Chain A
Amino acid sequence: MTAPAVLLEGVTKRFSGHVAVRDLSLEVPVGGIFGLLGPNGAGKSTTIRMIMEIYLADEGRIELFGTPHGARTLSDRLGYLPEERGLYKKMKVVDQLVFLGETKGIAHGEARKRANEWLDRLGLGEWKQKKIEDLSKGMQQKAQFAGTLLHDPDLVILDEPFSGLDPVNSQVMKDVVVELARRGKTVLFSTHIMEQAERMCDRIVIIARGRKIVDGAVGDIKREAGGKHVALTFSHDKDRAARVLADRAIVAKLDDYGASAEVELADGAQEEALLAAPGREGVGLTRLEVVEPSLQSIFIAKVGADAATAARSEEVAA
C-alpha cells in the first residue's frame, strides 16, 4: 500500500491563549482532489501552514508521502498558494514566476520557459513584461497560481483558491486543478464554498473550531447523512410556499432560498405529502425532485450542531 500524500495524526496547534487545531487526524490519499472545509476561523489555514512546515505542530505527527516532517526535504514536490496572496509588487510578472521556480530548484532557463507557457495558458501572455502592481487582483491571483505550479509539484495545496475570482477566472483555475488530478497529482484545497467542493472533491474533511467533524468520500458522506431530501422550485407566491414548508409533520429541516428550497422530509413523510399539503395551490411549483443531500445542508447541520454543543459545554464550564 502506498503511503498517503498527507498524513496527520493527533496534531494540535496552540497560539497564545487559544487552541487553533485540536487533536486533528486526517489522511489525504495520493491522487485526486481533497477538500478541507470549515467555517471561518475553523483552523483550515493553520492546518495547511503546518502541512507546509511554516508552523510547527505543538503535538502530533505529520508525514508527507510517508516521510516525516523535517527541514523541508519535500518542499520541491509541494506547491503552495497561501490564503494571503502576495508577490513582489515591483517585479515583472515573468521574472517573478522564474524566481518562484528557482526557489523550488528549477534551473533559470527551464523556469523561464515554463513561466512563458503557463502565462500563455492562463491568458496572461500580454502581461508578462508588466509589473505585478499593474495587474488586477484576479490577474495577480492567476499569476501566483502559475507560480505555485511551475515546478510541477506532486502535491498542490491551495488555501481558498477561488476566493475573489470572477466566474470566468474561477473556471480557468478549476480546469487546471481537474487536469492536475487526472495526471495523478494530489490537490488539497480549503474552501468554505460548498458547491465548489461538492462538484470537485473526491474526499472531504470538515473541521470546525479546530476539530474534525466529518471525514470521508463525498458520496459516502451524503449517503450517511440519511433522510430523504427534496429540491423544490416555485415560480410565484413565496409566502404561501413558506407556510407549506413550515409544516413540521412533513418537513424536518429546511434550507430556504426564497425562489427555491431544499428540504429534508420528516420521518415517514413522503414527497407526495408536499404536493398534497393544504395551501400548496398557487405556489407555482415548477420542480420537485428527490435528491441527495447537498454538502451545504450537511455542513450546516453538522457545523451548526457542533457550534451549539460547544456553546452549551462552555456554558456548563462557566
Chain B
Amino acid sequence: MKKVWAIVRRELVERVRTKAFLIGTFLLPVFIVGMMVVPTLLMSGTARTKRIAIVDGTSQRIGAQVQAGLGAQTFSRDGEELPRYDIAVVGAAGRVEAVRDSLVALTGFARDEMPTGLDGVLVLTDATVDAGDATYLGGDAGSLEGVGELRRALSSVLMQTRLSNAGVDPAIVGRALMPADLETRKVTDGRLTGESGGASFALAYAMGILLYFGIFFYGQQTATSVIEEKNSRIMEVLASSLTPFEMLLGKIVGVGLTGLLQLGIWGGVLYLALSRRAELAGLFGADPNAVASLALPSFPPDLLVIFLLYFVLGFLIYGALFAAVGSMVNTVQEMQQFLFPVMMLIIFAFFGMFAVLNDPTAGLGVTFSFIPFFAPIVMPVRWSMASVPIGELALSLTGMVVGVLAVAWFAGRIYRTGILMYGKKPTVREVLRWIKAG
C-alpha cells in the first residue's frame, strides 16, 4: 500500500506542477466568466436611443400607432431607463419615394451635434397593412437584434390595425391571447424547496456536463500517461517493484485525485463568488440588490455526497478502461482506435442524462441509472431532478462497486501484459488471450 501511495503522490504532485494544470484551473473559470461578462459590458456601453424617421405612405396613417408602439420600448443604462427609439413621423401619401430619398441623405449622421441626423428610415405603405411589406433603410440594417426589435413592434401594431379594420376590439383579442404563467417549485421528500423547476433543471444539466467532461478528460489523461510510461521505458523499473495491479491502482487514483482537486478548486471559487455575489456585482457596476435577490438553485449536502461518490466510482471504472487502452498501444494516434468503444459508453451515458432530464421518474433514464457504465452520469442527475427511493440508490451503488471490481480485474490482466509489449498493436484476439492467460 505504501508503494501504491508513492505512485499516487507522484501522479498528483507532478500533474499539479504542470503549466497545463495551472492554466486549466485558473484560466478556465476566468475565461468562462469573461465570456459571460464581456458581451454585457460591451453592449451596455454602446446602447443609445436610436433616431428613426417613419415615412408614412399609408392611407390609414398608421405611422402614429407604430410610433406609439416603438416609443414604449426602453432600455437601461447606468440604472436609468431610456427610450429605445426617438421617432419622427413624416406624412408622405403619394410621394413616398421622394420623401424617402431626402431622408436617406440624412441617415448615418445621428450624432448629438447633428440634430437632424438619423439612424434609419422606416417606410410604410398600404402594402404594409395588407401584406406586411415594409422597408427599413439604415446603417444598422445588418444588426439582427435591432431589426428584430423593430419587426416585433411593427408586427404588433399591424395586428391591431388589421383587427380594428375588421371591426374587432384589439383589447379583447389581447386578453384572449394572454398565455398561462406556470410557476414551478420543486418538492423533495414531501417538502417544498425554494427552488424553481428551471433552476433544478439547470443544476442537473450543469452537473451532468461536469461529470461527463470530468470523466472523459481525466480518463484520457490516464491513457496518455500510461503510453508515456511505456515510451519512456520507466514501466520496466516499476514492474520490477510493484505488481501491475498496484501500478494500475496508483495511476488511476492519482489522476482521479488531480481531477477532484481541480473540481474542488472550481467549486470553492464558485461558492465564494456566489456567497459574495452582491459585492462582486458592485465591482462590475451592476445593481447589488438585483443580483443578491437572484434565485439560485440550492445544492443540498446529500447531492454533493452523491455527486462525489459517483464521480469517484465512475472515474475508477473509466480510468481502468482508459489505462487498459493505453497499455495496449504505443502512440497517442494508435490510441484513438481502441478508445472508440470506451467513448461510445460515455456518450451513451451522456444521452441517458437527457432521458433523465426529460423524465426523471420512469423510462430509459431509470434503467440507465442501474447500469455501472452509465450510472456515474445518470444517477446524480436523476437524484437532483426527482426523489429516488433509497433502495434504488443502494442497488445502483452496489452495481457500481461490482462493475468497478470486474472492470479492474479485466483491465489489470490487459495492463499486465500490455505494458511490456512494444511494437505492433495487438489484435482483439490477442487481447482476449491476455485476459485468459493465468
Seen from chain A, the residues whose Cβ lies within 8 Å of a Cβ on chain B are: 49, 52-55, 71-72, 75, 78, 80, 82, 84-91, 99-100, 102-105, 144, 147
Contact = CB atoms under 8 A, between A and B. Distances in A.
A84 B233 contact: yes
Interface residues of B, number: 22
B239 A75 contact: no
DSSP majority for the B interface? helix
A53 B234 CA distance: 16
Given A71-B243, A103-B241, A88 B232 contact: yes
B265 interface: no
A86 B241 contact: no
B232 A86 contact: yes
Contact of A90 (B14, B236, B240): B14
Interface string B4-33: 001101100010001000000000000000
Interface in B189-241: 229, 232-241
A86 B236 CA distance: 8
Nearest to A71: B243
7 contacts: A71-B243, A82-B240, A84-B233, A87-B232, A99-B10, A102-B9, A105-B2
Contacts of B18: 90
B234 A54 contact: no
A90 B16 CA distance: 13
B168 interface: no
B3 interface: yes
Minimum-distance CB pairs A-B, first 6: A86-B233, A102-B6, A84-B233, A103-B241, A82-B236, A52-B240
Contact of A105 (B3, B7, B229, B238): B3
A87 B14 CA distance: 13
Contacts of B420: 54-55
A84 B232 CA distance: 9
B394 to A, nearest CB: 35
Contacts of B232: 86-89
B305 interface: no
A82 to B, nearest CB: 4
B3 A103 contact: yes
A75 B240 contact: yes
A160 to B, nearest CB: 13
A72 B6 contact: no
A103 B239 contact: no
B273 interface: no
A103 B6 contact: yes
Nearest to B6: A102
